[in-house]
Structure 1
Amino acid sequence: MRIAVSGSIAVDHLMVYPGRFREQLISEMVDHVSLSFLADRLDIREGGVAANISFGMGRLGLRPVLVGAAGADFAGYGDRLREAGVDVGSVRVSETLHTARFVCTTDADQNQIATFYAGAMAEAARIDLAEVHLRTGGLDMIVVGADDPGAMVRHTATAHALGVPVAADPSQQLARLDTRQTRDLVDGARLLFTNEYESALLRERTGWSEQEVLDRVGTWIVTRGAEGALIMTADGRRTGVPAVTTDAVVDPTGGGDAFRAGVLAALARGLPLVQAVQLGCAMATLVLECVGTQEYKVLPSELLARVGRTYGPDAAQTLRAGLGTGV
């Protein structure tokens, strides 16, 4: 199964604030916020949602196609992604703009405040997904992740025209999308990914109820942090999948991207959706335990042990058989 992952390619500037954001917020002044947090750590890492998801899929033995725009400073980053098993042949490299920047501060409660500078991502709408489809010999799925809004709408429309199933993952860009754009991204998708907050924002943006969203997508997967994930389908089924626990959380950045990588890799190998989400939850913990969204290692025995401890030996065995030599 050949999966293309479209979305941002970025350099992350990750800072840690040792206090709590909520202690600095004054309720009667929320309309006039002017705050500065003194961080005591800065880590600069390569990231971006599409690159992160592709990296994780590559580590699980797939060869995903990364679709996005980066700057002239992408050369070294591109080499690193190739080594991880990612096809970067469809990345557009800007001649004038730097790769996007993600600046994120995390507090002691793992809450985050972030700003994203688009940079070269503004050129993503110039990428023709039909050409990617032709170059790769045909795509079996396209993930439409957070990207330039015009690119997200264009990629979705092109995928539908080509008859390629879409996994919609608007995530951080929901704040920038209008009603028409959000509806276009969701309507007809085979998979929809959001976290809990984004699920509420998506309903507000579309003006659709939960059921109306489900009637337009095949499956809606909602990540719930320490509570795991929820799988919802239009026929009313709601399946909760517990999180894989860890006592070694270092930084939450990138956990959702690794989750998606696990889900997509498992589905690509024909595993049932529940087992795919279990793998996604296990992958998420790997990222939580390190600084940076692509600094983790995928060790087959460790990954399967995490699944076995949380979901039981049968789940680990099913995953082992389904992934084969993929991990």
Structure 2
Amino acid sequence: MDVVTLGETMMLFTPDNPGPMRYADRFSNRVAGAESNVAIGLARLGFQSGWISRLGDDEFGKKINAFIRGEGVDTSQVILDETADTGLFFKEKLAPGEWRVKYYRQGSAASRLKPGDVDESYIAEANYLHVTGITPALSDSCYETVLTAIDYARAHGVNVVFDPNLRRKLWPDHKARKVLTELVQKADIVLPGIEEAEFLFGNGTPEELARTFREKGASTVILKLGGTGAYYLNNAAEGYAEGFEVPEVVDPVGAGDGFSAGVLSGLLDGLDMKDAVQRGNAVGAMVVMAPGDVEGLPEKDRLVDFITNRNQSDVER
């Protein structure tokens, strides 16, 4: 297995027309979850990925499980829970570029993840364990589950990749800072956004913030800077990888997950850090040009064409 990840995936409902949801009478539904987005992104790029979670033993849970498995992700570690429901959320487009999200996930099946749900041998077979700051915010047992997965990974020499993926609505700021900082200390690679970095450590330049993450224990820091690109820092390399311009941002949700999938795919392919980060920027750009979390995730040949064409355009200018 190349990458194993764990976390909650929900059914996403979006009104067909923009405006406040009170006026909506038709909705489209999609499968959405940060960790499964990463797993699907990697599978589309030709890598083996596995996803650990709990779903309700209901129609939504069965749909999610079938969808993710159909995308080529191993779901053998997913538990269908007969005693809890699958989480839901709604995303409304109020105006161009303005989105609002409402979650219905309290007490969901995934919030009941517990350390015993994680198979040590399954994680031991991976090259990378990917976790986010969303999962520990769901419940105390989810927090313990993430710590257990990380302990298994470190015991078997599996690289731990941590995306803070801050969700301030899920927990108080002081608790979020404490737990996210703890997970930074346990990670090998950290993938924060600039706003998440400032939330944790205050204002600073990308270089200053990246050094702070390193001082906390992460060996590699890749700081996402939105459309302008990303800054990376480790013992062997540091610098900026430029972003990719897009004609229109259709849906920004999921761009960070696409970035993570792109970076990990680059590292698995043996790219140097700058090229791996550039690949992450490219996948993130492709994601924002399509609606939904996973619809814009590319397959390998399309990703290579996208990067090649954009780089060629830059040369010709």
Q: Which bin holds the TM-score, normalised by the shorter protein?
A: 0.7 to 0.9
Instruction: State yes or no: 1:61 paired with 2:62.
Output: no
Return closer, same or farther for 1:37/1:155 CA change in 2, 3 Å cut-off: same
Task: Say if 1:10 and 1:99, in contact at 8 Å, map to a contact too.
Answer: yes
Instruction: Provide the alpha-carbon RMSD of the alignment.
Output: 3.0
- After TM superposition, the structure 1 = structure 2 runs for residues 1-327 of structure 1, keeping only pairs within 5 Å, are 2-15=2-15, 42-73=27-58, 74-118=61-105, 119-129=108-118, 131=119, 133-135=120-122, 138-145=125-132, 146-149=134-137, 150=143, 151-173=145-167, 176=171, 177-203=175-201, 210-215=210-215, 216-233=217-234, 238-296=238-296, 298-312=298-312
**Using the alignment, how far apart are the partners of 2:192 and 2:17 within structure 1?**
26
Return closer, same or farther for 1:127/1:16 CA change in 2, 3 Å cut-off: farther
Structure 1, unaligned stretches of length 5 or more?
Answer: 20-35, 316-327
Q: CA deviation at 1:191?
A: 0.7
Q: What is the identity, as a one-letter code, of the residue corresponding to 1:104?
A: K
Task: Say if 1:222 and 1:230, in contact at 8 Å, map to a contact too.
Answer: yes
Task: Say if 2:150 and 2:186, in contact at 8 Å, map to a contact too.
Answer: no
Return closer, same or farther for 1:111/1:230 CA change in 2, 3 Å cut-off: farther
Q: CA deviation at 1:107?
A: 4.2
Return closer, same or farther for 1:302/1:182 CA change in 2, 3 Å cut-off: closer
Task: Say if 1:52 and 1:293, in contact at 8 Å, map to a contact too.
Answer: yes
**Using the alignment, how far apart are the partners of 1:43 and 1:230 within structure 2?**
36
**Using the alignment, how far apart are the partners of 1:97 and 1:220 within structure 2?**
37
**Using the alignment, how far apart are the partners of 2:241 and 2:116 within structure 1?**
36
Return closer, same or farther for 1:122/1:243 CA change in 2, 3 Å cut-off: same
**Using the alignment, how far apart are the partners of 2:2 and 2:299 within structure 1?**
23
Task: Say if 1:18 and 1:39, in contact at 8 Å, map to a contact too.
Answer: no
Task: Say if 1:124 and 1:148, in contact at 8 Å, map to a contact too.
Answer: no
SS of residue paired to 2:113: helix
The TM-score with structure 1 as length reference comes to: 0.78
Q: CA deviation at 1:265?
A: 1.5
Q: What is the identity, as a one-letter code, of the residue corresponding to 2:196?
A: E
**Using the alignment, how far apart are the partners of 2:16 and 2:232 within structure 1?**
32
Task: Say if 1:13 and 1:45, in contact at 8 Å, map to a contact too.
Answer: yes
**Residues 117-159 of structure 1: CA deviation (Å, up to 9, x unaligned):** 3311211234543x1x414762221111221431333333343
SS of residue paired to 2:47: coil
**Residues 243-271 of structure 1: CA deviation (Å, up to 9, x unaligned):** 22221432111111111111111212222
**Using the alignment, how far apart are the partners of 1:16 and 1:46 within structure 2?**
16
Task: Say if 1:153 and 1:184, in contact at 8 Å, map to a contact too.
Answer: no
Task: Say if 2:210 and 2:221, in contact at 8 Å, map to a contact too.
Answer: no
SS of residue paired to 2:131: strand
SS of residue paired to 1:257: helix
Return closer, same or farther for 1:191/1:137 CA change in 2, 3 Å cut-off: closer
The percent of aligned pairs where both chains have the same amino acid is 24
Task: Say if 1:14 and 1:42, in contact at 8 Å, map to a contact too.
Answer: yes
SS of residue paired to 2:192: strand
Q: What is the identity, as a one-letter code, of the residue corresponding to 2:165?
A: S
**Using the alignment, how far apart are the partners of 1:219 and 1:262 within structure 2?**
16
Q: CA deviation at 1:219?
A: 1.4
Task: Say if 1:61 and 1:85, in contact at 8 Å, map to a contact too.
Answer: no
**Using the alignment, how far apart are the partners of 1:39 and 1:295 within structure 2?**
26
Matched residue, 2:205: none
